[in-house]
């Protein structure tokens, strides 16, 4: 890809290729093919949704690519402009950035059958609003049972990708991830974190290079964990705990997730937006894990801590 080509085109091509690469690897480890839906967005653009259900490893896996454009609702346009100006240190500036937008990205959520295999989420995106341009994204792990070596591997792989572009990036984006994926009404993290970043609008070429490194790190961060845990035996107790934790996952996605909110507010494709939700989840009234149980030990993972 030539740097003379518009950044929006190069970003879209990268995330589309990343979708292909990730889906090919997941099909190989699962033994099941993705169902693909091509769709057009009313208002401009479209996407490619790929979903796998009842696979050999994954109960539900969704990997979306989209490139959409059009006009933002006025309130959302002002909110987003305000965020980007604040990130640029121009909080006092006018927040009139226009309503025209372009967005492209790849987003995935993988829900495994086996409770010893973590759920994982990743997203890498590029956005334009008027003359404003920025990147966002990240990857985070949600284990059901806490194997510290798995979480450490995931974080270490992401840290290595960040370190190629500056030693300050991983600590910054890890903290941002811990703060973002926090279920406020539960006072608990969604999982064991990873990295998260948004509104990266300065030095766009360097930022794009970083986003590419982060995106390419996803498979080596996650697949070794799947290989290590996918064949471990489990029973009803472990499955019940997995479904309870999935309930917490669904709560975050429906109440706080920016991607869900943005998609619904901009008339996105509902099936693609909500593909992140698990097929099955469970809510138990006033759930508390049994003291000194494996579930109680896992519960301790859902708080910010150092992994590498």
Catalytic residue positions, numbered: 121
SS3 290: coil
Assigned token pair, 165: 């572009």
SS3 136: strand
- Residue 18: name the closest of 85, 97, 106 by CA: 106
Cross-strand pairs, 194: 140
Burial 75-108 (b: 16+ CB within 10 A, else e): ebbeebbeebbeeeeeeeeebebebebbbbbbbb
The C-alpha atoms of residue 166 and residue 175 are separated, in whole angstroms, by 16
- Residue 113: name the closest of 25, 237, 221, 234 by CA: 234
Cross-strand pairs, 21: none
Rg for the chain (alpha carbons), in Å?
A: 19
Assigned token pair, 64: 């979306």
Which contiguous run of DSSP H or E holds residue 139? strand 132-142
Assigned token pair, 262: 């943005």
The C-alpha atoms of residue 94 and residue 71 are separated, in whole angstroms, by 19
Instruction: Judge whether 41 and 70 are in contact, CB under 8 Å.
Output: yes
Strand 45-53 and strand 193-200: the pairing is unpaired
């Amino acid at each position: 890809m030539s740097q003379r080509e518009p950044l929006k085109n190069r970003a879209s091509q990268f995330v589309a290729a990343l979708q292909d690469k990730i889906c090919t690897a997941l099909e190989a480890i699962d033994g099941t093919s993705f169902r693909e839906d091509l769709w057009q967005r009313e208002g401009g653009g479209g996407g490619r949704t790929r979903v796998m259900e009842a696979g050999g490893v994954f109960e539900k896996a969704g990997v979306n690519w989209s490139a959409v454009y059009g006009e933002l609702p006025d309130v959302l346009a002002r909110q987003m402009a305000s965020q980007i100006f604040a990130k640029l240190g121009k909080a006092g500036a006018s927040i009139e950035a226009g309503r025209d937008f372009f967005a492209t990205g790849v987003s995935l959520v993988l829900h495994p059958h086996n409770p010893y295999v973590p759920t994982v989420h990743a997203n890498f995106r590029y956005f334009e609003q008027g003359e404003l341009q920025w990147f966002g994204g990240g990857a985070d792990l949600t284990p059901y049972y806490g194997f510290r070596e798995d979480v450490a591997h995931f974080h270490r792989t992401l840290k290595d990708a960040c370190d190629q572009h500056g030693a300050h990036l991983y600590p910054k984006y890890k903290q941002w991830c811990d703060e973002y994926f926090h279920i406020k009404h539960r006072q608990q993290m969604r999982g064991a974190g990873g990295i998260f970043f948004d509104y990266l609008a300065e030095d766009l070429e360097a930022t794009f290079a970083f986003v590419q490194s982060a995106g390419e790190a996803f498979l080596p961060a996650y697949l070794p964990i799947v290989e290590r845990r996918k064949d471990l035996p489990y029973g009803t107790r472990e499955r019940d705990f997995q479904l309870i934790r999935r309930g917490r996952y669904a709560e975050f996605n429906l109440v706080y997730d920016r991607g869900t909110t943005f998609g619904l507010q901009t008339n996105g494709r509902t099936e693609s937006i909500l593909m992140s939700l698990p097929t099955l989840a469970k809510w138990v009234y006033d759930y508390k894990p049994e003291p000194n149980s494996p579930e109680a030990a896992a519960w301790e993972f859902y708080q910010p801590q150092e992994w590498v």
